[in-house]
Amino acid sequence: MMIDQAPALIIIVPLFVSLVLTLAGSLGPRVAYGLLLCGMAGSLLFSLLALGQVVTDNQAIHYRMGDWPPPMGIELVIDHLSGLVLVLVSACALLTAIYSLRTAAEDNPDRLNHYYALFALLVTGLLGMTASGDVFNLYVLLEISALSSYGLLARGRGPAYYATFKYLIVGTIGACFYLLGIGYLYIMTGSLNMLDLAEIISRPELQDSVSIKIGFSLMILGVWIKMALFPLHAWLPNAYSKAGITTACLIAPLMTKVSVYIMLRIMFTVFSVDYIFDSIAWSQVVIYLASAAAVIGMITALAQRDLRMMLTYIVVAEIGYMTGGAWVANAAGYTGAVYHILADGLMTLCLFMAVGAVIYRTGQTSLAAMQGIFKRMPITAVVLVIGAASIIGIPPTCGFFSKFYLIQGAAQAGAWVFVAALLIASLVAAVMFFKMLEIAFFGDLKALEQEPGGGHGHGSHDGHDGHGALPAVARQEAPLSMLIPMVITAASLIILGLYTKEVVNYFIGWSIPAGF
Amino acid sequence: MKRLTLVILAICALIMLAAAVDLPNWADPSSPASTHLSPDFLEQGYGETATPNIVTVVLADYRSYDTMFEAVVVFAAALIVLVVLRRTPRQRSKMVQHRPVREGRDTVLRGAAQLIIPVMQIFALYVVGHGHYSPGGGFQGGVIFGASFILLALCYNLQFTIDRFKEQAVLFCVAGGVLLYAGVGAICLAMGWNFLGYAGLAGILGVSEVMARSHGILLVEVGVGITVFSVMMSLYYDLASGGDLDEGL
Amino acid sequence: MDEIFHFIIGKYNYWASLVLLFIGLYGMIAKNNLMKKIIGMVIFQTAILLFFVSIGAKRGATVPIIEFGPDKLPLLDATAYANPLPHVLILTAIVVGVATLGVALAILQKIQRVHGTIEEDEILEDQRR
């Protein structure tokens, strides 16, 4: 019985946690933390159960909300793809929740409960979006996750408000474009259910309809704005880099990945391979955009002096990888894109966590904070190296295998621009991380101290390590609550890499859309 | 830059206008939107839920999962505004802001408010309760109910309202309404039906499945009403006073 | 001529909402004052709401509340009632719009408090300092 209800419980459990956290305003921070952990662990458990059932039965689970049959009611659909993304989202959320013990309490001395309630709401929104089988329901959950991310990001320091406002305006434009796209589809088909829509759109009389094309363009454009594809990415680095440590760890890996997942859903579930690559001949343009995103994102990241600014531009570049993989129009590219959702979710989380720990300990956000972390924070440094290796694409980390599939797909499709972009981006990433690790190993303290913009911004820093006495300090490893999730994430990067074949065969292989 | 934006937008507008060629005419009874799902709702809705207002039926039963998240959206808004704006007195003391303090007795205003507020509140309850048979429901009723409190705050002052309806109580209602909605869904789930399958309430309420759906709709509408009215108040409290909850507009 | 006239009149709901849509979008992108950006956002959202709600109209139909015949039996003729689904969707979209507006106003108040202004160029100048 629990297994039958698992699809609903994945989403309901964090929702209830959020409500209870709001109601129980007077409970202590420990209780709030415990509740949050329970909620996230529950989601992960039910996601695993649902995915397990999908794999054993080898067919998608259709869960009818309110027992109404699909085109009239709303259904949740968990197939190989969405099951995998659900597990990724809930696992990342759980790891971040564990990680948040110290940082969240310091960033939010008051209202920790409300902060955690928003945390749980954001996760509810992301999980709901992933599981939903109804385009309008997806919009509502998109707005829930967007709203709660505005709230979380606005908890940052001074400049965060303006950056969040920009994000709010851009995010609303994106969501409204998506809504307008639904409107066009609804006018032409009369349906909102994804599978029903797909069936109606595939009818010959709608193949050449301009309105359907406009609807598709608006929906995709909205999702691109939400996921910060290259020319539309300006809001992302500012908004994400000024957030609190926990917020950045939660939002940066997950929001964009779920948006990519939605793009795949729209492209291959609502519309079909034939429609997208034959009726709408955009794929060349999109591949150029994706290539530009990858190269420009990485080069801009190289130019940054602020650690988190650097990571956010890496996120922009990675979006280019996944978009390109989805639009090269073959099975290898699609596999690469989906596998990269998993890999990138984990490696972005890994890097944000490690950098967050460094910022937490040093109180600095500039590259200078990396000074001698191999001596002071050896475990964090190793985690950072593994994350960096994965971004660059060094085997056996999973970053290598996703890039391998992406390049294979691009080569099969003859998209040499994208192949070149991937290789250049990897090279730039290598340069960037070697620069960072060089500072970490041999950094010349005096040279760095003279640089402006050292950024002693972390106000809530509680001073058990002096700002000024960086090199002299002995080991100051991050607290255990941060180390455990970091080590798990770093280990999972390698484990995922080692089991690439299994993941591709048992999960992604089944979700490759018909027509490839 | 502005000129450029204008030109780009104008081009987009022209493309979209040109694309209207194959959209159905306004109010065309044979358009896909009117012929695909809508007849099913209209013909089956009453029989399955014993509720004549089909908008309510679709809102709170067929698509009640959407509506639950709609209530969650307003809940989230209240929470975010609180988290962003609300300041404790300790934080406020760093910066003193002068607000005009309203003196005097606005007898006419207060008299009018006393006259109209009870009527508004009764009407709001009617709108919530009569949503099955006429236009109305939790959102509309909740908004009217919340507006009556905002009127009170405007005609007296914010402090007067807060003394009668504490911030903590408002927050309790905000989460409580959504909890009622989600709780109804969870009870259905516990009774062996799917989440929000109101037919699962039949055993508890001792009525037929069709009537159970009707009662389920009422229950969730009440939940929505509570959330919406308290969110209105919570938003007003925080936005009107800049998060200080002292003087207000 | 007659056809063009019918084309314009027959689809006027789309024209109206598209014009509003682009007015709102222009306001959101081009205006310097953040409050005006928010106003643009509201216009933009309202345009989409109008677009959606106009789908629900059906000639010769009344509000989708089932009426009862003289024999107390419900009249279940689908052509007599308007399409209920767009109304439901709109209710959701309105609520989402209101929530976004509330959050935007709260953040705007915070910006005003931190930077002392809500003009975009002055905020950027303030940040550079």
Of B105 and A496, more confident: A496
Sign of CA dihedral C72, C74, C80, C85: positive
pLDDT for the residue numbered A487: 94
CB within 8 A of B139, min separation 6: which ones? B70, B224, B225, B228, C91, C95
Query: Which band of pLDDT confidence, cut at 50, 70 and 90, is reported for residue B97?
Result: low
Distance from CA of A199 to the nearest CA of C (A): 20
Residues on chain B touching C99 (C-beta within 8 angstroms): 73-74, 76-77
Q: Which residues of chain A have pLDDT under 70?
A: 1, 158, 443-475
Record: contact A162-C111, CB cut-off 8 A? yes
Q: Is the model's pLDDT at B14 over the cut of 60?
A: yes
The DSSP secondary structure of B164-184, one letter per residue, reads HS-HHHHHHHHHHHHHHHHHH
pLDDT for the residue numbered B99: 57
Q: Is the model's pLDDT at B230 over the cut of 90?
A: yes
CB within 8 A of B236, min separation 6: which ones? B146, B149, B150, B153
Report the half-sphere exposure of A356 (CA within 13 A, side-chain side): 34
Measured between CA atoms, the residue of chain C closest to residue B227 is: C95
* Residues 3-62 of chain A whose Cβ lies under 8 A from any Cβ of chain B: 5, 8, 12, 15-16, 19, 22-23, 25
Measured between CA atoms, the residue of chain B closest to residue A1 is: B192
Q: Is the model's pLDDT at B20 over the cut of 80?
A: no
CB within 8 A of B22, min separation 6: which ones? A188, A209, A210, A211
Q: Which of B66, B175, B199 sits opposite A140 (nearest CB)?
A: B66
CA distance A198 to B157: 55
Measured between CA atoms, the residue of chain C closest to residue B224 is: C95
Mutate to test the interface with C, among A166, A178, A179, A191 (most CBs of C within 10 A): A179
Domain-located, residue B195: yes
What's the number of domains chain C is made of?
A: 1
From residue A475, give the alpha-carbon distance in Å to each of A218, A442, A448, A460.
53, 16, 21, 21
Q: Which of C61, C85, C98 sits opposite B37 (nearest CB)?
A: C85
pLDDT for the residue numbered C116: 86
Mean pLDDT over B157-170 rounds to: 87
- Cross-strand pairs, A233: none
Distance from CA of C70 to the nearest CA of A (A): 30
CA distance A48 to A44: 6
B185: exposed, middle or buried (Cβ count in 10 Å: 0-12, 13-18, 19+): buried
What's the number of domains chain B is made of?
A: 1
SS3 track for A169-184? HHHHHHHHHHHHHHHH
pLDDT for the residue numbered C80: 86
Do A200 and A209 meet the contact criterion of CB atoms below 8 Å apart? no
Task: Give the number of other CB atoms < 10 A from CB of residue A442.
Answer: 10
pLDDT for the residue numbered B244: 79
Q: Which one-letter amino acid corresponds to residue B160?
A: F
Domain-located, residue B220: yes
Q: Which one-letter amino acid corresponds to residue C56?
A: G
Residue C95 lies in domain: 2-128
CA distance B154 to B138: 24
Domain-located, residue B93: no
CA distance B209 to B203: 9
Q: Which of B16, B22, B194 sits opposite A64 (nearest CB)?
A: B194
Residue C41 is part of a domain; what is its CATH number?
A: 1.10.287.3510
**What tens-digit pLDDT sequence spans chain C (129 residues)?**
778 887 778 888 888 888 899 899 888 888 899 999 999 999 999 999 999 888 888 888 888 888 888 888 888 888 888 889 999 999 999 999 999 999 999 999 989 888 888 898 888 888 887
Q: Which of B29, B52, B66 sits opposite C59 (nearest CB)?
A: B29
Record: contact C44-A176, CB cut-off 8 A? yes
The closest of A28, A21, A81, A92 to A50, measured between CA atoms, is A81
Residues on chain B touching A65 (C-beta within 8 angstroms): 64-65, 194-196
Q: What is the dihedral angle through the alpha carbons of A482, A486, A487, A488, rounded to the nearest 10 degrees?
A: 110
Mean pLDDT over B223-235 rounds to: 93
Q: Is the model's pLDDT at B66 over the cut of 70?
A: yes
Residue B55 lies in domain: 47-86+109-249
Domain-located, residue B58: yes
Domain boundaries in chain A?
282-516
The DSSP secondary structure of A344-413, one letter per residue, reads HHHHHHHHHHHHHHHHHHH---BGGGGTTHHHH-HHHHHHHHHHHHHHHT-TTSHHHHHHHHHHHHHHHH
Residues on chain A touching C55 (C-beta within 8 angstroms): 183, 186-187
Subunits with 3+ Cβ pairs within 8 Å of A are B, C
Residues on chain B touching C14 (C-beta within 8 angstroms): 17, 20, 23
Is this prediction's pTM over 0.95? no
Which tokens belong to A408?
């294979």
pLDDT digits (tens, 9 = 90+) for C102-127: 999 999 998 988 888 889 888 888 88
Q: Is the model's pLDDT at B102 over the cut of 70?
A: no
